[in-house]
């Protein structure tokens, strides 16, 4: 039989054990909350606030977040060059939206060791090169020796602008302000032009009406520029007041890429990104509906990015769902693409313009050719 001292000691031990459990229960509960909050999280870095990639990321978050197994967390970045660095080196950044030319530039210049290990989930949409100038600037060559803003340091716009200006044999004095701030400086006469790669119509130019003489400049598409970028146009419909109704502004488009970090296979982050890819690809058609950014309608999930490897779960999804991935655009979209291509080719080759009847006949032949190829 225990003595009173022994009984007291046993009771004390029991009390201490019970007290320790009171501490362990909140700690265990807190850990469960942490695990639950981080379940399925994918951090997606975008461009700056002046661009459209943050809207694209928000579209993905709105579509894919389910409150239990998956959460897309958009992170506002500083531009494509910095996004490549962050994707390779920062802890936690799983995906990033990056300009294709910036990704190639980082690899060619060897700016980030091991950048070749990055993969891509999908080629996305195109963003247009905008070059807005003050009233006294009539052509791109008028910018020689003048101050031209190329967005903040680390943004992809500077890569594109350098390549385009070099192709045109044009030397400018570059400045690196956020585009919204650069527009204010241009209004004061402190800089002559603002270059910015972003999807049209860009929100940052939305409040400009051309009453101050600001206008977009056309790019002369010589071989050096046309070989690196796809020709496109800014129209009065895109920017009323900044583009004349009687004539669009010729420019080029830059491809955007959804790139993935080099994650250890089957790690938690790898599984989270694989889960994201499966949901994104499976529900992609929803992004084509009204209410989402119109740039989604340019995306072809099966399109490849030459020189880069695709993220393995994305490659596997495409292999399993090839019929869905290769779905054809609508006849109306196909016709618009065909006519835009035809107009660009005629203009670049100096051939005379075609009548609508001639275009209709040629498009019919093109459709017949596509049908024969499919067979």
Listing DSSP states for 33-94 in one string gives HHHHHHTTEEEEE---TTSSHHHHHHHHHHHH--SSS-EEEEE--S-HHHHHHHHHHSTTEE
Sequence-separated (6 or more) residues with CB below 8 Å from residue 208: 132, 183, 214, 239, 241, 242
Q: Is residue 22 part of a domain?
A: no
pLDDT, average across residues 231-258: 91
Q: Is the pLDDT of residue 341 over 70?
A: no
Q: Report the interhelical angle of 100-109 vs 156-167 (nearest 10°).
A: 80
Residue pLDDT, tens place only, 29-72: 665 566 666 788 999 999 988 899 999 999 999 999 988 889 99
Query: How many separate domains does the chain show?
Result: 3
Indicate the residue among 219, 254, 289 that finishes a domain: 254
Q: Are residues 89 and 137 in the same domain?
A: no
Confidence at residue 190, expressed as pLDDT on a 0 to 100 scale? 96
CA atoms of 343 and 232, how far apart (whole Å)? 10
Q: Is residue 298 part of a domain?
A: yes
Q: Are residues 175 and 66 in the same domain?
A: no
Q: Is residue 353 part of a domain?
A: yes
Contact assessment for residue 67 and residue 39, using Cβ atoms and an 8 Å cutoff:
no
Q: Are residues 250 and 265 in the same domain?
A: no
Q: Is residue 145 part of a domain?
A: yes
CA atoms of 157 and 47, how far apart (whole Å)? 11
Q: Is residue 1 part of a domain?
A: no
Residue pLDDT, tens place only, 79-135: 999 999 999 999 899 999 999 999 999 999 999 999 999 999 999 999 999 999 999
Neighbours of 125 (CB within 10 A): 20
Q: Is residue 149 part of a domain?
A: yes
Confidence at residue 147, expressed as pLDDT on a 0 to 100 scale? 97
Residue-number span of the structural domain to which 317 is assigned: 38-125+256-325
Confidence at residue 364, expressed as pLDDT on a 0 to 100 scale? 73
Q: Are residues 238 and 167 in the same domain?
A: yes
Confidence at residue 311, expressed as pLDDT on a 0 to 100 scale? 97
Instruction: List, in sequence order, every residue forming a beta bridge with 198; answer none if it has no partner.
Output: 128
Confidence at residue 66, expressed as pLDDT on a 0 to 100 scale? 86
Q: Which of 13, 73, 15 lies closest to 39 in space, CA to CA?
A: 73
The single residue listed with the structure tokens 């071989």 is 223
Q: Which of 162, 197, 192 lies closest to 50 in space, CA to CA?
A: 197
Q: Is residue 26 part of a domain?
A: no
Q: Which of 169, 167, 160, 158 lies closest to 78 in space, CA to CA?
A: 158
Indicate the residue among 284, 306, 325 that finishes a domain: 325
pLDDT, average across residues 158-182: 95
pLDDT, average across residues 332-349: 64
Q: Are residues 71 and 103 in the same domain?
A: yes
Q: Is the pLDDT of residue 242 over 50?
A: yes
The single residue listed with the structure tokens 């390549």 is 163
pTM for this model (two decimals): 0.77
Quote the tokens at residue 71. 């959460």
Confidence at residue 41, expressed as pLDDT on a 0 to 100 scale? 92
β-strands 193-198, 215-216 pairing: unpaired
Q: Is the pLDDT of residue 342 over 90?
A: no
CATH number of the domain at 133, please.
3.40.190.10
- The more confident residue out of 308 and 332 is 308
Q: Are residues 165 and 213 in the same domain?
A: yes
Q: Report the interhelical angle of 356-374 vs 331-349 (nearest 10°).
A: 120
Quote the tokens at residue 297. 């309608």
Q: Are residues 241 and 141 in the same domain?
A: yes
Q: Is residue 105 part of a domain?
A: yes
């Amino acid at each position: 039989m225990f003595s009173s001292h022994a009984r007291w000691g046993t009771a004390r031990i029991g009390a201490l054990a019970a007290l320790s459990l009171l501490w362990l229960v909140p700690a265990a509960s807190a850990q469960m909350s942490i695990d639950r909050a981080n379940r399925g999280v994918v951090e997606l870095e975008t461009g700056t606030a002046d661009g459209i990639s943050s809207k694209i990321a928000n579209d993905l978050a709105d579509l894919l977040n389910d409150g239990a197994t998956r959460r897309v967390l958009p992170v506002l970045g500083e531009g494509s060059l910095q996004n490549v660095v962050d994707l390779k080196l920062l802890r936690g950044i799983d995906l990033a939206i990056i300009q294709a030319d910036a990704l190639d530039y980082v690899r060619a210049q060897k700016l980030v060791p091991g950048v070749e290990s990055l993969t891509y989930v999908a080629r996305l949409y195109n963003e247009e090169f905008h070059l807005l100038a003050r009233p006294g600037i009539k052509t791109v060559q008028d910018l020689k020796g003048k101050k031209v803003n190329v967005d903040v340091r680390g943004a992809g716009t500077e890569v594109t602008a350098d390549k385009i200006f070099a192709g045109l044999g044009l030397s400018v004095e570059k400045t690196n302000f956020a585009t919204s701030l650069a527009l204010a400086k241009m209004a004061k006469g402190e800089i002559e032009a603002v270059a910015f790669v972003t999807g049209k119509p860009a929100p940052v130019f939305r409040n400009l009406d051309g009453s101050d003489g600001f206008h977009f400049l056309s790019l002369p598409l010589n071989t050096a520029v046309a070989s690196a970028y796809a020709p496109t146009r800014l129209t009065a419909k895109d920017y009323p007041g900044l583009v004349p109704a009687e004539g669009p502004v010729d420019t080029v488009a830059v491809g955007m890429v959804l790139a993935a970090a080099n994650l250890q296979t089957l790690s938690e982050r790898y599984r989270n990104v694989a889960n994201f890819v499966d949901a994104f690809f499976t529900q992609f058609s929803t992004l084509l509906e009204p209410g989402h950014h119109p740039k989604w309608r340019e995306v072809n999930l099966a399109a490849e990015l030459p020189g880069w490897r695709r993220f393995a779960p994305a490659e596997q999804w495409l292999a399993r769902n090839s019929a869905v991935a290769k779905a054809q655009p609508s006849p109306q979209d196909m016709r618009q693409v065909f006519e835009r291509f035809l107009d660009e080719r005629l203009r670049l080759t100096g051939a005379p313009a075609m009548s609508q009847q001639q275009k209709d006949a040629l498009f019919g032949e093109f459709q017949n050719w596509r049908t024969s190829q499919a067979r």
